[in-house]
Amino acid sequence: MKNLLATRRLFLAAILATTSLAAAGSAFAQQKVLTVGSAFVPVSLDPALSGNGRAGMAIGPAYEPLVRVAADGSFRPALATKWEMSPDSKSVTFTLREGAKFSDGEPVTAEAAKKSIEYFRGKGGGFATNLKTLTSIDVLGPYQFRINMSEPQPALVNLFEAYWNGGMLISPKGVDNPDSLAKETFGAGPYKIDPAATILGKSYTYVPNPHYYDKSRVKWDKVVISVFQDQNAGIQAMKAGQLMLLSSDPLTANSNAANLPPTIRIVSEPVGWTGLILSDRNGEGPQPYLKDVRVRQAINHALDRKLMSQALFGKFAEPTAQLQARGFVGYDAKLEERYPYDPAKAKELLAAAGYPNGFELTVAYVNNSMSQFLQQAVGAQLRKVGITVKGIEAQHFGVMRSMADNKAFSAAVLNSNSGIPNLAKFQVLDAKGGFNYYSNTDDTLTRLMEEASNLPVDQAGDAWKKVYGHVVEVAWLAPVAAIHVAYFASNAIKTPPIGQSVVIDLTNVEPAN
């Protein structure tokens, strides 16, 4: 009898355990989890140090900007419900929504906003230069503050939308403990990071922020962002149903467009460029070649942009010699005629500069599929005129920054977005820009940028054409293609239009049903 009772007890316990596991499994299955693949290892979870756009994907779910930019370029309220520019474009007044809180429960106030923005500027990250002319922040009330600049900035409101990071407000507790910003989030966005379920550099898990002001925008029980620098692995994860969204590139989109199952689509928009940044224009490093403008111009003539663009990117790009993509302010079709593919001309210029036999050029690139292939393609082109490319791989943009500090490369394969040139110039052309690795300046370029920056954006087209025309003439860069931003998306999700917002905002991705 005792053995029989014991057996019954064990049998009942087994039934209860099985039932509990099944219930737990069912509950997990019922969770709405947005699974995302990123092509970039995040530089940091600190908005002041993070990359932006697709490279800043890891801060997007947790940090709410002051304003959002819609696909048509118009502004939408976020933490700020109102904003007003001064007539001289030197200041903007923001009115915050009352009741918004950071994920640590602290209220979003004007004082908190001031503290966050001052921290962002003082930290010296890649986009702090956007605020280099900021003179003061005046707190006008509990939920109202004014940002003052020393010079006109017609695109001032844009500095505080999601793409440029400065408006991604950080809680005062986070600012007071900056080391914690590397592994936790202190934002006012719809989600917050779950450190216990996160492996930095590999996978980032977010759960709802219980204090978020608009519960209707919290569409997921979890958001998981995993790093897939190998885009082929990312595509396989998409096909296996392990990812719902993959941040990708035009190279991967082109090579996979014809072989996708009907459950996956490509979402893309023509918003950027890719190519070589000829970084060491002053010849400061061990390879002084790029100091001579004729060498930089030779490199531009040596690139068969049409061939590379078609072979690598297909319909997801078009050849270009300039930074602004077609349709963006400052684009000038005439610039496409400046550097026709002409290897003989390239060799002639190299000989005139004193390098008839060419030289070895050290080129850095970030470890992702598109940069790897583009570096190889550029190397093959330059080899035909006697320039041997030595590629140096960087794990992420932060590593590339450190390499530049050590004068480890002379040029870099990079890609960036077009957009409002008042802001885009800071990244590539300004002396303190994130991609101006050697802080080069050019007196004519500086003057032209100042003239263009002081004009209203909708009246500055011709002035910015002069800026980009000069950049092409002095060959600071060797762009290859105007490229599409590209994502692979499961039909299980709805994605917002991209347009002038440049990238997909994960907080606007919804379940399809």
Q: Nearest to residue 98, comparing CAs of 114, 106, 109?
A: 109
Whole-angstrom Cα distance, residue 465 to residue 333? 10
Pairing of strands 411-417, 264-277: antiparallel
Q: With a cut of 50, which residues of the chain have pLDDT below it?
A: 1-28
What angle do helix axes 305-313 and 369-383 make, rounded to 10 degrees? 150
* Count of CB atoms situated within 10 Å of the CB of 192: 24
Q: Which domains, from first to last, does the chain contain?
A: 37-244+492-511 (3.40.190.10), 272-485 (3.10.105.10)
Sorted by sequence, the CB contacts under 8 Å of residue 412 that are 6+ apart come out as 276, 277, 279, 363, 364, 365, 400, 435, 437
Whole-angstrom Cα distance, residue 370 to residue 230? 9
Pairing of strands 387-394, 359-366: parallel
265 Cα distance to chain centroid: 22
What per-residue confidence (pLDDT) applies to 22? 37
Tokens in use for 392? 């140096």
What per-residue confidence (pLDDT) applies to 413? 95
Whole-angstrom Cα distance, residue 40 to residue 401? 15
Q: What is the chain's percent helix, strand, coil content, to nearest 5? A: 40, 25, 35
State the residue for tokens 């060498």. Answer: 295
What per-residue confidence (pLDDT) applies to 4? 40
What per-residue confidence (pLDDT) applies to 29? 53
466-481 burial code (b ≥16 CB/10 A, e <16) = bbbbbbbebbbbbbbb
In 3-state terms, what secondary structure has residue 268? strand
Instruction: Answer whether 0.85 is exceeded by the pTM.
Output: no
* DSSP β-bridge partners for residue 491: none
Q: Nearest to residue 208, comparing CAs of 200, 198, 199, 219?
A: 219
In 3-state terms, what secondary structure has residue 415? strand
HEC readout, 338-377 = CCCCCHHHHHHHHHHCCCCCCEEEEEEEECCHHHHHHHHH
| Total residue count of the chain as it appears in this document | 513
Phi first, then psi, for residue 282 (nearest 5°) are -100, 0
What per-residue confidence (pLDDT) applies to 217? 96
Sorted by sequence, the CB contacts under 8 Å of residue 165 that are 6+ apart come out as 47, 48, 50, 52, 56, 59, 120, 125, 127
Concatenating the DSSP letter of every residue in 36-96 gives EEESS--S-SSTTT---GGGGGGGTTT---SEEE-TTS-EEESSEEEEEE-TTSSEEEEEE
Whole-angstrom Cα distance, residue 494 to residue 508? 9
